[in-house]
Structure 1
Amino acid sequence: MRFANFHDKLKVNIYTKETDRMVTASTASIGFIGLGVMGNSMVKNLINAGYSLHVYTRTKSKAEEVLELGADWHESPASLAQASDVIITMVGYPVDVENVYFGDQGILNHTKEGAYVIDMTTSKPSLAIDIYEEAKKNGFTALDAPVSGGDIGAKNGTLAIMVGGDKEAYHDVAPIFRVLGERITLLGPAGAGQHTKMANQIAIASNMIGVCESIIYARKAGLDAEEMLATISTGAAASFSLSNLGKRMIDKDYEPGFYVKHFIKDMEIALESAHNMGMPAPGLELSLNLYKDLADMGEEDSGTQALIKLLAHEAEMSL
């Protein structure tokens, strides 16, 4: 089957959540850079949906699982960009985003005309705008599309995807987004996706303190922490952090669905953005300081639920 253009390639992918079925008549290839906790699962979902995947990550051993599933390995972002119709990046920090996009082997210098680049890293809104403008100069389109939902959402294809950029481009790549997530929203022009993710992280920051203190309080009061959690999760206190990460806290499971070090990075970006807008954020500042203390305890590679270790220690309570 031949396609008149790339837009047609993407439009023939029809994904229906109700039937859990992807009709794959597309020849569009996807390049994916960054195979961490979430990226690996996202690539698997795209392969299972029938897309051909090109992958690159700094440590090739992290790609072994998806290479066995049929993904093609590339030695540089430049090589991957030249082979892909859509390029998705999911890396660690804004400096990593800058290197992947603007470096000598960066994708902005090597992407094919008419292609799409999508940064799903949580990064600076200002950087998302820079990427969008540079991509436009070079004849292709950029979207910022950070996600929320952690390792569980990545595995299950149920991520919330927050998109900034042009409406036409958003609709063009929507079939790909629908493989990766459920709540997918175009929030505005370039940078709007990243601003929305900052709002998301601000809401989570103070909530995580509350979840930890709730569990510590229950234990000090002699309650069954699991019963307490199951009960209040059905009421006004309900949240993803309470239901999912609260259970991990009780089970002393500190494996990273989302790293402490990456949450610190996100909060620093959010606080900088808030200050640039003249907005005080006392709850965010408190959470950031607590997580920095947690990292100083050697927990930067733990999951964000490890915050309970710090607060339990301060409460002079054994977990």
Structure 2
Amino acid sequence: MKVGFIGLGNVGGKLAGSLLRNGIDLMVHDLDAALVEGFVARGATASEDPGAMMRACQVVITCLPSPAASDAVVTQMIPHMGPGKTWMEMSTTDADEVIRLGAQVATTGGLAVECPVSGGCHRADTGNISIFAGGERAGVEHVLPLLRHLGRRILHTGPLGSASKLKVMTNYLATVNLLSLCEALTTMKAAGIDLATTYEAIRISSGTSFVHETESQLILSGSRDVNFTMDLVQKDIGLFQKLADQGGVPLEISPLIIDIMSDGQRRYGIRAQSDRIIERLEEATGLSILADGFPTELVDTEPEEPGYEVTRG
């Protein structure tokens, strides 16, 4: 099976690397020629455009920054799709758009499967990230051999669109947790508690979380580079807010998060690292939320193993 991968950014480049590392015959495309050249040097082949890639490959994976980018790419691929061709959407995107584009793919006789990931760039780099797979069961089973290289835990979430909805929910929860941790760390600093001790107290308590055990370390080290930018946070929270609005759910925390992140973007830049949101509280209090002994980058130490499907119930 020849596989194409479009979008070699922070997450996409690491996912594509997992395929290449596991011996998949890989073709790549990105607007950044340097990223493509790096993959070609490692054994991949390059494609001039999405249409040419779909002609050459049985499966094409997209991992792109916005619904508009996915639309532009899939529109180029549709004329070259048909039976035996599969589109795998690994972007964090709008469920309505995935369903719409998937319907266009279906009219050609091709397959569409959405496979957004969750767990951070460091786990994408080692093939240990989690994957939500949405689509018909036959389509998910068709791409399962690839998913086992791309991630560790794979959950079939239901029909097309379900995985995208769950993915923006998890990103919403992660952002809520990030902002609450910023407040907790700053309050403990103001209360005279050592921040390294604070980190451990949270880690061993009911207050711990994946976000704490990863992003709090980058905040305390001063790195504040989690490979996830504020514009992406805003996109994901906006998509979650859209789902709530469609369902008539009167959210209270979500609009506040959007306002806080908008303020962070005004202060530090549209594409500032999301962990820099701690600096709003540092500026407001005059406190430094730093501690010795924390890493400046996240490294996944879990050994790489073939992925497996998680069953519900």
Native 8 Å contact 1:35 1:57 kept in 2: yes
Q: In 1, are the aligned partners of 2:215 and 2:226 still within 8 Å (CA)?
A: no
The answer for the alignment partner of 1:307 in structure 2 is 277
Give the total of aligned pairs: 289
Whether the 8 Å contact between 2:85 and 2:110 is mirrored in structure 1 is: yes
Contact 1:152/1:257 (8 A) holds in 2 = no
Quick one: which of 101, 107, 110 aligns to 1:131?
101
Aligned mate of 1:211, from 178, 181, 185: 181
Structure 2 distance, partners of 1:65, 1:235, is: 43
Q: What one-letter code is carried by the residue in structure 2 that aligns with 1:96?
A: A
Higher relative contact order (CA 8 A, sep 6+): 2
**SS where residue 219 of structure 2 aligns?**
helix
1:20 aligns with: none
Q: 2:237 aligns with which of 267, 273, 283?
A: 267
Displacement after TM superposition at 1:220 (Å): 1.3
Which one is further off, 145-154 or 293-302? Answer: 293-302
Letter in 1 for 2:115: A
Q: Does residue 1:147 correspond to 2:120, yes or no? A: no
How many Å separate the matches in 2 of 1:274 and 1:134? 26
2:23 matched to 1:50? Answer: yes
For residues 108 and 259 of structure 1, the distance between their equivalents in structure 2, rounded to whole angstroms, comes to 31
The worse-fitting range, judged by mean Cα deviation, of 185-194 and 195-204 is 195-204
Superposed counterparts of 1:247-286, under 5 Å: 247-286=217-256
Structure 2: distance between partners of 1:315 and 1:112: 59
- Conserved in 2, the CA contact under 8 Å of 1:263 and 1:304? yes
1:65 maps to what in 2?
Answer: 38
Retained in 2: the 8 A contact 1:81–1:112?
A: no
2:59 equivalent among 76, 81, 86: 86
CA positional deviation for 1:282: 1.3
1:85 and 1:112 in contact (8 A); partners too: no
- Show CA shifts across 1:201-240 (max 9, x none): 2211211111111111121122221221123112211111
TM-score (norm 2): 0.89
Q: Give the counterpart letter for 2:176 in structure 1.
A: S
Structure 1 position 37, deviation (Å): 0.6
Q: 14, 21, 35: which is aligned to 2:8?
A: 35
Percentage of identical aligned residues: 24
TM-score w.r.t. length of structure 1: 0.87
Q: Measure, in 1, the Cα distance between the counterparts of 2:249 and 2:153.
A: 28
**Structure 2: 5+ residue stretches without partners:** 290-313
Unaligned runs of 5+ in 1: 1-27
